[in-house]
Amino acid sequence: MRRFYLVNLLVALFTITATSNVSAQLKNFLGPRLYVHEPPVIGYKSFTYSSSTTTPWGRALDSTWKNVPLVKSVDSLGCVQPGTANYTGKWVLIWRGTCQFGEKAKFAQDKGAAGVIIINNVPGAEPVGMAAGTAGGSVTIPVLMVSNPEGAAMWNTLGTTPLTISLCVWGLGNANDLALVPKSGALTTGATPLNQISGSSATAYKQYTGALIANVGTNDQTNIKLKSVITFTPTGGSASVVFQDSAVATNFNTIDSIISITSPNVGTLNPTTTGVYTTTYTVSADQPDDNTADNSFSYNTYITNNIYCKGRTDAAGNPTITNGLRFGSGTSSFIWGPLFYVNKGGYKAQALRYAINDNDTSKHSLDQITVADKTSISYLLKWVDGSNGGSTDNIIQASEVEIKGASIYTFTSADSNNRLFTSIMGDKDGKAGIVTLDANSWYWVVVDMPGPTFLCSDDSYSYFTRSLAADNLTSSVKDYSTPMFLGSMSTFTDNGSQKANMLIGATSAAAAHLIDSVSFPSSDGVPALALELSPFQVSVNEVANQGMKEFSVYPNPATTSVNVKLNLSQKAEKVQIRIIDAVGRRMMTEDYNNLQKETLNISTEKLSAGNYYVVLIANGSATVQPFVVTKQ
């Protein structure tokens, strides 16, 4: 077990004395916390807040609100508060929708509200950033947003049960109170293709144990134990424990306030099917904890057929969006994106899924974006450390990367802020082509972001502690997630000596690969970007195509049906057509006999709008063609 005190490690921090005078830096590490006191919705809730946005508005979370009544907004959307509404001294729960966030807060404030909590109205969605709108400048109360599931549960509970909340920036005044710092677990990749992780011993797929722990109580603690338990639930199956580990710190004084506990043990996950891993961290000590609600947290990571993502995803492989990030000044360009390790080659880099935001609340369509050409350009870069005269130093240098593919997406009126789109990967000029990934290789997927646009991100994910745990192993490992370069793609590639910032949040560009120069709060957030691989190796398709004179799918996009045109070199006694979705789930199967040259019509009426593949199996080989279904 390796352990050290962050107050001694991070240059941004300084030693403090304990109970009531907690430094602002340490408060930022733990972050403000929202606690609901009554069942069935008891516990801490994740949230975003208006004063943390790029253009802050509303009251900063600079105090402690303890045991404050929470009430429903009389007008559920908060856009027109009736004259009978009286929220004096209370926090108000309001649904997102119809009017601006600032307007909702101002209307509640005018009726005496002490604060506002907005529920995201998108089913299953996480809290997102909130723009001030036209009324936000007049708001002087805190404004929070919670997720759709948690907010809906609070709303429904208020129908029968009174609720009180507490909002604090450190602790609630308890004597014995340890808290796991949110987002500080030694996280693994949010989604990994089964064909990459299965049977692999690559360090990129290893499981580490580690987290940051805060002492928010007034007493010193002894024998602090951090336990991690990982279960795996195969698709359609039941959960079982596949990994357990723990580490102990002997003493934790209040003067230290935050410590890191990591384990020297490394786990190897070897799934044989798609499914979901659930990692649960729990902290305990000799003294019983006065508030166990913040002593445990869990997160899910998916094993998919063909989706790779460093941030969180849903079961379909769509990245989770909570915010948007931009680096540098308002007009600076930057390239930023995830670093993926490919264990098994031969798969096609097929498409990217991501979203952007132009921070313009006066419109909702990105085809009006002011950036030239109204396009988003992303690149697939293969990185070989130490190649082409570069130094073998675990730092991406421009001379060490090769552009293998590019993805160019032009916005239409259907594209809007914070909404995912799929951008097809082509050759390095952005033209249609097959971009095949090599085995045992690192790929840096970057979006070239011109100012003043934001790349949508998942700021509930941070790889700080994973990098820390890897760096603290007896044989140190450099484990990076989402490098960034402050400048355009052309600025980066035109100078072979340019280096990327391997860790976001370093105190200087020169130290941007050293974990001990990075502040945990500054490391929050990863791009909400997924790399979509082909469901099958391209090499298999190439073999199949030797016996295939023609294989095409039209119309593309399709609405009610799709035509599959084939011309085989020789007649096939058995032909099977499968339709699979973007994560490889079989949607339908059609079997045919004695085909060679044929056009088959397949109904798509039962398919939801989205990306699909036609898999043609004939004469012992399989080949694949993508298509899109739209609904009018």
pLDDT tens-digit series, residues 171-213: 888 999 999 998 899 989 999 999 999 999 999 999 999 999 9
Check whether domain 178-305 has CATH 2.60.40.10, yes or no:
yes
Residue with the larger pLDDT of the pair 504 and 27: 504
In the three-class reduction of DSSP (H, G, I as helix; E, B as strand; rest coil), residue 178 is classed as: strand
Residue 34 has pLDDT above 60, yes or no: yes
Mean pLDDT of 135-148: 96
Note the pLDDT tens digit of each residue in 43-63.
Answer: 889 899 999 877 899 999 988
CATH topology of domain 547-629: Immunoglobulin-like (2.60.40)
| 3-class DSSP state of 27 | helix
396 in helix, strand or coil? coil
Do the beta carbons of residue 517 and residue 506 sit within 8 Å? yes
* pLDDT at site 539: 55
The whole-number average pLDDT for the span 516-540 is: 84
Task: Give the ranges where 484-608 is alpha helix by DSSP (H).
Answer: 489-493, 538-546
Q: What SS3 state is found at 137?
A: helix
pLDDT over 70 percentage in the chain = 89
Q: DSSP class of residue 381?
A: E
Which residue ranges make up each domain of the chain? 32-168, 178-305, 308-532, 547-629
Q: Which is more confidently placed, 375 or 33?
A: 33
Q: Quick check: 165 and 37 in contact, CB under 8 A?
A: yes
pLDDT digits (tens, 9 = 90+) for 334-364: 999 999 999 999 999 989 999 988 776 666 6
CATH label, 32-168, candidates 3.40.50.720, 3.30.300.20, 3.50.30.30, 1.10.760.10: 3.50.30.30
pLDDT of 14 strictly over 80: no
pLDDT digits (tens, 9 = 90+) for 577-591: 888 776 556 788 888
Same fold for the pair 32-168 and 547-629: no
Q: In terms of pLDDT, which residue wins out, 543 or 241?
A: 241
Report the phi/psi class of residue 31: left, alpha or beta, with left for phi > 0 and alpha for psi in -120 to 50: left
Longest dimension (CA), the chain: 82
Centre a 10 Å sphere on the Cβ of residue 499 and count the other Cβ atoms it contains: 22
Residue 299 pLDDT grade (very low, low, confident, very high; cuts 50, 70, 90): very high
pLDDT tens, residue by residue, 412-463? 777 888 889 898 888 766 556 678 999 999 999 999 987 778 899 998 889 9
Residue-level pLDDT at 53 = 79
C-alpha 568/C-alpha 548 separation (Å) is 5
Mean pLDDT of the chain: 86
